[in-house]
Amino acid sequence: MLFWFIAIAVTAIACAALFYAAGPRMVNAGTPELDDANSHFRLILAGIDADVAAGKLGEGEAVAARGELAREILRLKAEAGRVSGAGPGFGRMPLLAGLGAVAVVALGLYALLGSPDQPSQPLAGRSDVAAQSLDLESAIARIESQLIENPDDLRGWTVIAPAYLEMGRYADAARAYRQVMALGGVTPDLQTSLAEALLLGAGDEGSTEALDLLRAAAADPAHAMSRLYLASVLTGMGEYEEAIPLWEAAISLAGEDAPWLDGAQQGLAVARNGGVAPANDQEAEMIGQMVSGLAGRLSADGGTIEEWTQLVRAYLVLGDTDSAQAAYDDAVAAYPRAFDRGDLDTLALGAGLTLNGAQP
């Protein structure tokens, strides 16, 4: 009887928590989203325009205010955290009825099929949990012992290589893939798998051998995965000119239901935009209004190298490479010494902008 009292109480508490969480409210609201902030920014922009019309702000002050608002939008866009919105718009009575039905069904099924009198067992002592781990480990141990006796067993190396990779034993996985290639020949799939093991094992240090393997595998015109891996690595390294055709080739080989297609299209957009994720239409409209004021002030009165860098970056976010190039040219004219333009030249180089017809 005590068991059923506890079970009913726990079920009621869980249903109450779900009922509360699914209600029409915001929960765990932390970092504001840019989409939710657009109306706020528009009100501020309208207020600036109203102050100019009323004579409360001069044109120079208004331009500065718009530029500051643009920087705030760009800062919000760069924040990675996103929060979830309110729960679904169900009525409260249908929601309550549904939770009640779930509780009744759950308790009823356990009463029919469960064993409340069964003594509890520690997780480590449960046969079903322990068997999963022991089965994999024992299988790996058996294959390893077989490979010691017969190191030329191609099937054994083929089976154990991806198992090592799944277990995080990257050095062993790389060794196994080398054996498979030595015994069965080199294929683009094996080159890609070996490169993956090397990259995972190298971490942030990277692997020149892995890049060479991926380039060799990508020589096969029909192999998409090697192009995906190579394009991703090169984009992370800032080698956008080499990454772009690889993204494009992989996308051309993808079917409509390829699970990696959306990611590849996003990677291509980032590479084309010099490593900066392009803005969507609503963000582009808002940022464009703000940036125009900053661009006008810098063109008329000049500014700091940080402001020029901000302007070039904003144009790249908008995907307007021509305007970014023009702003970069003006910045170089204002700051002709390369020593003064360290961050700006780095940004321009990554985005493919040019300095007097040559790479900066």
- Distance separating alpha carbons of residues 300 and 297, to the nearest angstrom: 5
The mean-pLDDT minimum among 201-205, 285-289, 317-321 falls in 285-289
pLDDT at 132: 53
For residue 225, give the nearest of 195, 203, 204, 205 by alpha carbon. 195
Q: Please determine, for residue 318, whether its predicted confidence score (pLDDT) is greater than 60.
A: yes
Q: Please determine, for residue 91, whether its predicted confidence score (pLDDT) is greater than 70.
A: no
Q: Please determine, for residue 280, whether its predicted confidence score (pLDDT) is greater than 70.
A: no
Q: How many residues does the chain have?
A: 360
Phi and psi torsions of 325, nearest 5°: -65, -45
**CA end-to-end span of the chain:** 79
More confident residue, 353 or 171: 171
pLDDT at 195: 93
Of all residues in the chain, what percent carry a pLDDT higher than 70?
63
Confidence category of residue 285, pLDDT binned at 50, 70, 90: low
The mean-pLDDT minimum among 85-94, 200-209, 268-277, 289-298 falls in 85-94
Q: Which domains does the chain have, with CATH numbers?
A: 39-75+276-360 (no CATH), 131-185 (1.25.40.10), 207-272 (1.25.40)
Phi and psi torsions of 357, nearest 5°: 85, 0
Q: Torsion angle, CA of 99/102/104/107, rounded to 10 degrees? A: -130
Q: Please determine, for residue 121, whether its predicted confidence score (pLDDT) is greater than 80.
A: no
More confident residue, 80 or 114: 114
Enumerate the H helices of 185-260 as residue ranges: 188-202, 208-218, 224-237, 240-253
Tens digits of residue pLDDT in 197-251: 999 898 877 889 999 999 999 999 999 999 998 998 898 888 888 899 999 999 8
Torsion sign across C-alpha atoms 50, 54, 59, 65:
negative
Confidence category of residue 354, pLDDT binned at 50, 70, 90: confident
pLDDT at 214: 94
Tens digits of residue pLDDT in 10-41: 676 776 666 566 555 544 444 445 555 566 66
Rounded mean pLDDT, 317-336 = 87
Q: Please determine, for residue 292, whether its predicted confidence score (pLDDT) is greater than 70.
A: yes
Rounded mean pLDDT, 91-119 = 62
